[in-house]
């Protein structure tokens, strides 16, 4: 009888120890899992409002850097929207209503700006002529022709990014975007920062100044859904 009681006590102790060990093990697992943060996913809709003023001014500088003070650049913003899905597809939408509205204002004020600019030059040189006469003398063009040529060279619309769609691949901090999956292979990429509610396009692997979006980087997007 004593042997049976002793065996039962030993069994209880063994089981007790087993339960304690099991409990400890479970606690360690829970703690480890709690310490692990789930990697943020790019699969979502992301939005950003981007100021294109500097890009527009830079483009203007290639035509005539002295003209910047004669224009109002306020409101040259574009709303970006990227959607990345689980299948590796992306859609980039561009809402440029504000940008287009301000661009129209700039275009309508171009003649006034050019006249003011030419009048200041005439005054600085102590000449006695009108802006129209200066255009004829310098370029053998009318004032209206000079304004039209100026706007064509400036090409403000090229300063805003274009909408697109296609395939994407996120590899670490590199975001590859292309028209097809084949285009992603060793293609150009963005260096990105990805957090739970923030996506930052930092740099583009190809330094192409003719690409409107490159001049706007870095761009910070907020997760919408």
Report the candidate in 101, 173, 116, 181 with the shortest Cα–Cα distance to residue 147. Answer: 116
First-to-last alpha carbon distance for the chain, in angstroms, is 70
Q: Encode pLDDT of 130-186 as tens digits.
A: 999 999 998 899 999 999 999 999 999 999 888 999 999 999 999 999 988 887 878
Q: Are 175 and 200 in contact (CB under 8 A)?
A: no
**b or e along 31-60 (b: 16 or more beta carbons within 10 Å of the residue's beta carbon)?**
eeeeeeeeeeebebbbbbebebeebbbebb
Per-residue model confidence (pLDDT) at position 223? 97
Is residue 199 over pLDDT 50? yes
What's the pTM?
Answer: 0.74
Cβ partners under 8 Å of residue 195, min gap 6 = 40
Question: How far is Cα 20 from Cα 27, in angstroms, rounded to an integer?
Answer: 10
Q: What proportion of the chain, given as a percentage, has pLDDT over 90? A: 67
The rounded distance, in Å, linking the Cα atoms of 176 and 170 is 6
Judged against a pLDDT cut of 90, whether residue 49 lies above it is answered with: yes
From its phi and psi, is residue 217 left (phi > 0), alpha (psi between -120 and 50) or beta?
beta
Rounded Cα–Cα distance for residues 71 and 63 (Å): 14
pLDDT at position 211: 76
Question: Which of residues 112 and 33 earns the better pLDDT score?
Answer: 112
Cα distance between residue 165 and residue 179, in whole Å: 7
Q: What is the mean pLDDT of residues 104-127?
A: 94
Q: What is the mean pLDDT of residues 114-127?
A: 94
pLDDT at 30: 52
pLDDT tens-digit map of 110-119: 999 999 999 9
Predicted local confidence at residue 123, as pLDDT = 94
pLDDT score at 22: 42
Q: Is pLDDT of 43 > 50?
A: yes
Round the average pLDDT of the chain to a whole number and report it.
85
- Whether pLDDT at 2 is above 70: no
Using DSSP, state whether 104 is helix, strand or coil. Answer: helix
Q: How far apart, in whole angstroms, are the C-alpha atoms of residue 174 and residue 193?
A: 9
The CA distance from 221 to 140, in Å, is 49
């Amino acid at each position: 009888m004593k042997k049976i009681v002793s065996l039962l006590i030993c069994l209880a102790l063994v089981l007790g120890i087993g339960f304690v060990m099991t409990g400890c093990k479970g606690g360690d697992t829970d703690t480890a899992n709690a310490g692990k943060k789930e990697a943020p996913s790019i699969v979502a809709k992301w939005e950003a409002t981007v100021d294109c003023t500097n890009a527009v001014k830079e483009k203007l500088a290639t035509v005539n850097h002295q003209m910047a003070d004669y224009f109002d650049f306020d409101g040259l913003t574009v709303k970006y929207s990227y959607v990345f899905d689980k299948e590796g597809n992306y859609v980039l939408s561009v809402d440029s209503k504000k940008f287009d509205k301000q661009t129209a204002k700039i275009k309508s004020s171009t003649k006034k700006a050019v006249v003011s600019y030419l009048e200041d030059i005439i005054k600085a040189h102590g000449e006695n002529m009108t802006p129209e006469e200066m255009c004829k003398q310098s370029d053998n063009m009318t004032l209206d022709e000079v304004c039209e040529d100026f706007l064509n060279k400036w090409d403000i619309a090229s300063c805003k990014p274009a909408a697109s769609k296609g395939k994407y691949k996120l590899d670490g901090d590199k975001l590859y975007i292309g028209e097809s999956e084949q285009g992603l292979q060793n293609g150009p990429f963005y260096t990105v920062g990805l957090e739970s509610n923030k996506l930052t396009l930092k740099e583009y692997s190809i330094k192409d100044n003719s690409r409107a979006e490159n001049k706007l980087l870095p761009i910070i997007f907020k997760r919408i859904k």
